[in-house]
């Protein structure tokens, strides 16, 4: 198994963030996605940690 951490960019639209995540997982077998939000001052950081396995193409 592998993990991938993806942060949402400061000014990135939710739709663009969703597209980046979906593009990453489209050829993976996702086991779990964990979300995290951290507030620091006026900024909110949204992070996903994806636990996955590579899909083997025979």
Distances 6 to 44, 56, 57, 58 between C-alpha atoms, Å = 14, 23, 25, 29
> CA torsion, points 50, 28, 20, 39, in degrees to nearest 10?
0
pTM confidence score: 0.82
DSSP 8-state class, residue 12: -
| Residue 44 reports pLDDT greater than 90 | no
Question: Mean pLDDT throughout 21-42?
Answer: 93
Split at pLDDT 50, 70, 90, the class of 56 is confident
pLDDT at residue 31 in the model: 97
Instruction: Locate the domains of the chain by residue range.
Output: 2-54
| Mean pLDDT of all residues belonging to the chain | 91
């Amino acid at each position: 198994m592998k993990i991938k951490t993806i942060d949402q960019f400061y000014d990135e639209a939710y739709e663009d963030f969703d597209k980046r995540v979906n593009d990453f997982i489209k050829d993976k077998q996702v086991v779990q996605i964990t979300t995290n939000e951290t507030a620091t001052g006026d900024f909110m950081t949204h992070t996903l940690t994806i636990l996955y396995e590579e899909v083997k193409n025979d």
